[in-house]
Structure 1
């Protein structure tokens, strides 16, 4: 009997080892999110005496490893995982999680659907809610600037105009929860609408570098900035889920006081999220060490209806720059079942009046005084109602369906009065914007995913002008800024696809056709226009193709080619006599779209899980560029406007342009608590005229970057960092910028230029308890006086920022 038992044990052991030898030595390594095989995963033991590599099917042979040996699995895009062979062979499969710090995991910007960052050939910067909470930006413009990857220009405290890869203003597209924010009066001059977005409500920001016209249509030439706001949270139980938070922030440079509160109510099928933020900013104080020409040494004071130029008693205080702002957001979510989601988002933002500071420091013609007594924007108001339907996995030809409808209303105004002039000129604009998007996702075709959809956008523009005589307070009508009642609309369809040809090679491509219509009728009551109307009907075909390739486990290479376009809008075609220093801009109804052709290459290399290097090189060529050039109005090259003889200019398809550059990044994990990161951007570009002459591009930012040394544990996080900008000499400055000598320093020859600068800064955040967190920042510690390129306002001097956040 004992012999029989021993024989049975022997047979079982032999069968086990045969089975184990045939199958138990091999595991499959898969992506945790999409369960796709991961190729080139490096597998090794503690002293690296034994190594292996996963194949194209994610399979890895572990025969050489001992049963209780601890094995490490490493790939550039994933978190390092360690486990014993016994544990691994028992399961037969290992799932790796994406490393968010290296590849930012899942993004939505490229297709409007969730995609793995590692599969996308374009450069994307992701700024999540944790980063936003730590940097504590005053506005959403500062949110982008704090990333170190986007350059931001400011004409006044209430503003911020991003520049990406040599493009800005209406050549960049802003979207909020998938809805296009750009409207038909976004101008080629600096655009300040981004301050309407409340950084406290933003859960994620994705910035696409380079053309994004395949998905987003007109204006997405230099890049796309996608802002995704907080969503209501559902309850997982039968009881009501109640969440909320409160924030306070103070900054010394402009005596800022910011208050924010939000709360969430959630049931299993219904959820509500409400948010309120109020900002109060006083006049901004500049630094002590820098060009004296930046000082606000003179200002206009009005007494008893008469203007005087007086010395500013506090020349480092930039008066007037103060303003207030309020932001409201209400979201409602309904989930009737597992396949449907319905979301309603309501947004409202309003500022007080705020000064156009760069216009108020313009010197008079004789240089002794100031040109303007008043120049301010009226309240900037923005409302959006956004209703979105999402269906998952029920369609015959799709796995996901999104229907997004939105209504937006924009209100803005301009008010200006010359020094000792009794007339205050004003224009008021109102834009109603309707949009509808239908987007599909199909992922049923093996390794191929298909995305397709359509879009319709309609803008109606209201514009009025008036003149107020301050002597008798009588108001008369005057020319509007735009043709009142004009419209801009576009209809488009797109298709894009992603093919995972191999586990380590993904190919992406897409096409879009857009058609744009403009209808504008000009009022000849105030000006004898040589035309009556502007009717535009034009189309544009854009495309993209690129790949993401992991030739090794620690190396990623990307290549992408794409085209972009911008159709003329009402600001280009119909702007009626907009005054610039020494010039007046008039309408031009004979415009065509401008096109951009772009190629970019990227590389990401991981060195022993200690250092990660990221690099990208790009080149963009713009044809039929819409630029402001000298023009004639009724045969005249100069006319009188608002009492001043000015040369006539208009937007024209008068140039070609090219921009190229490099974007570099480094992340180093020095210890478990200490890390180093850096960003560095170099951009060069020129505009080429029809006669073959060249001039520097207006929106080509100087070399800029940052270096951060971060230490953190479970409760404390500190960031000691340097921000820096390179110099733009007079010879490298755009011609239009050289005429704004009053915002620039003077070089040794007395010519305007933009000096290099740097700031030393410290941020810290401490978690006192689970619900309570405080922050203490000290920015521009050496009190530098500097002005970012093309900015009208001087940046803050030494700035103490304090804040607290409480969640429940």
Structure 2
């Protein structure tokens, strides 16, 4: 088998070497340019460069003039004989390097036509930044703030909103499910950064295309596409990556390979990561150090001193990511894509719960998340050209997902371990269509159906006897959540300088939850609850480019979030001495937003991009004190606890300003900087105004970058402003165990900065080395609302070999 494989590869290379090929590269990086179109003057003959930037010219005569085009590069023309069997370079259009976006309409559009701000992160940037997880990938965008309660996590915040008010998609499939919560989420770490080809972060509402939850933004992850050979020869390519990180002794191995023939292609990817406990920095607040921890031996809990208080014990875990994709293209404009995704973590500790004290003793002996597992099967059928009166392009997507998570906690010197397990089965169907209505107008429309079923169990185990008994589950077992929607969107471009985009969506959501099992423990005044509600959302925006220097965009939008199973049926200890109980009287929350942006480009030497925004969130779903059967306190897990519930008890106002700058001193040397200012307040039904919980402090970064053909270096500073005690939301003021203490012994989030250096060197087309030294001055800091301190001085070394 191995012999046949080697023979196939040899024949493929031999065939390539004896045909009229050209190789198309980027001049500054020598990276191949895939998808460059090559055609003759009459456009009767054409071809396209493959993933290695190679295109075959055998169909053209030697004297034909060939035109080479790519949306991200300046077009050029050559005589075929002059470029046969040679390498050519396309000069980048700096303004258009990340010009094509998909997330705005499910089909490719020019970024300059979109009135919303969309951040692109491509595979090259991901490989250079070397993120440990996809949460770190998002943080590197500069516009997403990441909160972490433990090392196995990462909860994005965008423009003052987070968790279930932000939407995540993978290859166009909605990842948000019926138990996405208002508290911090870890689901983004299930996405393997090694498989991500491109990430698009839409800042602001995206409900017209994506429905419920897309209030603050949409994070769209697009994984690699299997590459066909488009010939009778075999196309093979693979990568092997090894990485080591000092702050948590990360050991990562990754392998992927692509097999392509004329109409079929197969892509396989496997990653394994092992993290040890995380070391924090040496210089910073002493409130963050870990002086002691609980150790259990023979069923006996003991508090033992930490030999190195900078090591956060326990925080280590490991993770496996697997991806299998198959692509079939029976015709040039038809494609069938099947994707199978699987991720699992080991059991890992929720670190912020393990550093809480009860009087003078650590409160918990253990507080662990069980393995977080995610599986998705996704089949997508796309036709990119049609003579139908109904559409020019059509895409149909059907997907099944299974999510599994669990929680295990036990108080210090208590033999009772509480175990709660959850699973969600999610089915979805999307139909998206595009129709050109004349030369100036494009029409997008589609349908969506989603069904989620939640399975949830509760168990209490005696660690000494091994006997387990049922207890209250986190969610009503067997509950379901359904969503049906239709949307339309119109793009009108009367001339190259002006674009109008507008759209409308109707979404209908139905929920059914049965509390019969949990009523044995909670004695709720109801046994079932149903929600049957609909919502219209709309958007309208303009993009104006009067000249090469100025771009202006204005966008108004509405968005919504329907209650889910987490909102109406959750039972959990939200904080020490408090328990959240179900509430069957909830309505959707609605957001109304306005965004205005200006971009100035002075000869591609100095570029300034600014945006300001305002969002009003009505009927805000928030956690507030509640009464259950007239009682404000109940016994939960053996402790008298204040009763709370999710309620439509507030309205929120969020505003902010973002600015980005780029100075291109030369082709090789550039300066990049960005800064984010976020503010707002939450006003309760009683008229009391409070700071927003998920409004991050002011944050930003400045990068000085130098790059030539083989060497890439980036020296940068990351910085974060302070949030004083009075600027913290009340729920954060109660979490003194995760914050530093000010002069009055009140919790606050200090300002911080880090100095960092990243480098990458390409020894050859096959071998590259990436090395980063982060937090050079070894600062000790915790990003706002995080329960774990960030890494101290951290050396990251990765070697990549292309097969």
Q: TM-score, normalised by structure 2?
A: 0.88
Say whether the 8 Å CA contact 2:571–2:579 is kept in structure 1: no
Q: Of the candidates 175, 185, 203, which is equivalent to residue 209 of structure 1?
A: 203
Say whether the 8 Å CA contact 1:242–1:266 is kept in structure 2: yes
Partner Cα separation in structure 1 for residue 667 and residue 209 of structure 2: 40
Q: Deviations over 1:285-311 (max 9, x none)?
A: 000000001001121111221212222
Deviation of 1:166 after TM superposition, in Å, equals 0.3
Say whether the 8 Å CA contact 1:654–1:689 is kept in structure 2: yes
Q: Of the candidates 719, 723, 729, which is equivalent to residue 714 of structure 2?
A: 719
Number of the residue aligned with 1:465: 458
Residue 479 in 1 paired to residue 472 in 2? Answer: yes
Q: Of the candidates 670, 676, 680, which is equivalent to residue 675 of structure 1?
A: 670
Q: Of the candidates 498, 511, 521, which is equivalent to residue 504 of structure 2?
A: 511
Number of the residue aligned with 2:28: none
Partner Cα separation in structure 1 for residue 640 and residue 468 of structure 2: 24
Q: Of the candidates 366, 370, 373, which is equivalent to residue 365 of structure 2?
A: 373
Number of the residue aligned with 1:797: 792
Residue 764 in 1 paired to residue 749 in 2? Answer: no
Residue 786 in 1 paired to residue 784 in 2? Answer: no
Deviation of 1:527 after TM superposition, in Å, equals 2.0
Cα 1:152–1:101, aligned 2, differ >3 Å: closer, same or farther?
A: farther
Residue 707 in 1 paired to residue 695 in 2? Answer: no
Number of the residue aligned with 2:431: 438
Q: Of the candidates 126, 129, 134, which is equivalent to residue 123 of structure 2?
A: 129
Number of the residue aligned with 1:171: 165
Number of the residue aligned with 1:183: 177
SS at match of 1:445: coil
Residue 192 in 1 paired to residue 186 in 2? Answer: yes
Q: How does 1:303-702 map to 2 (within 5 A)?
A: 303-364=297-358, 366=359, 368-394=360-386, 395-523=388-516, 524-702=519-697
Number of the residue aligned with 1:65: none
Deviation of 1:236 after TM superposition, in Å, equals 2.6
Say whether the 8 Å CA contact 2:293–2:304 is kept in structure 1: yes
Partner Cα separation in structure 1 for residue 76 and residue 181 of structure 2: 54
Deviation of 1:211 after TM superposition, in Å, equals 0.6
Aligned alpha-carbon RMSD (Å): 1.8
Larger Rg: 1
Q: How does 1:47-126 map to 2 (within 5 A)?
A: 99=93, 104-126=98-120
SS at match of 2:357: coil
Residue 290 in 1 paired to residue 287 in 2? Answer: no
SS at match of 1:185: coil
Deviation of 1:137 after TM superposition, in Å, equals 0.3
Deviation of 1:101 after TM superposition, in Å, equals 5.3
SS at match of 1:293: helix
Deviation of 1:114 after TM superposition, in Å, equals 0.5
SS at match of 1:393: coil
Q: Deviations over 1:149-168 (max 9, x none)?
A: 11000000000000000000
Partner Cα separation in structure 2 for residue 142 and residue 445 of structure 1: 43
Cα 1:138–1:125, aligned 2, differ >3 Å: closer, same or farther?
A: same
Number of the residue aligned with 1:142: 136
Q: Deviations over 1:155-208 (max 9, x none)?
A: 000000000000000000000000000000000000000000000000000000
Q: How many residues align?
A: 723
Q: After alignment, is 257-266 or 99-108 more displaced?
A: 99-108
Partner Cα separation in structure 1 for residue 252 and residue 601 of structure 2: 41
Say whether the 8 Å CA contact 2:74–2:92 is kept in structure 1: no
Say whether the 8 Å CA contact 2:72–2:99 is kept in structure 1: no
Say whether the 8 Å CA contact 2:73–2:96 is kept in structure 1: no
Deviation of 1:553 after TM superposition, in Å, equals 2.0
Say whether the 8 Å CA contact 1:494–1:510 is kept in structure 2: yes
SS at match of 1:336: coil
Number of the residue aligned with 1:50: none
Q: Of the candidates 246, 255, 261, which is equivalent to residue 249 of structure 2?
A: 255
Number of the residue aligned with 1:40: none
Partner Cα separation in structure 2 for residue 540 and residue 354 of structure 1: 39
Number of the residue aligned with 1:48: none
Q: Deviations over 1:673-718 (max 9, x none)?
A: 1110011000001100112110000000000000000011000000
Say whether the 8 Å CA contact 1:402–1:440 is kept in structure 2: yes
Cα 1:232–1:80, aligned 2, differ >3 Å: closer, same or farther?
A: closer
Cα 1:220–1:128, aligned 2, differ >3 Å: closer, same or farther?
A: same
SS at match of 1:280: strand
Q: How does 1:220-231 map to 2 (within 5 A)?
A: 220-231=214-225
Say whether the 8 Å CA contact 1:103–1:117 is kept in structure 2: no
SS at match of 1:170: helix
Number of the residue aligned with 2:150: 156
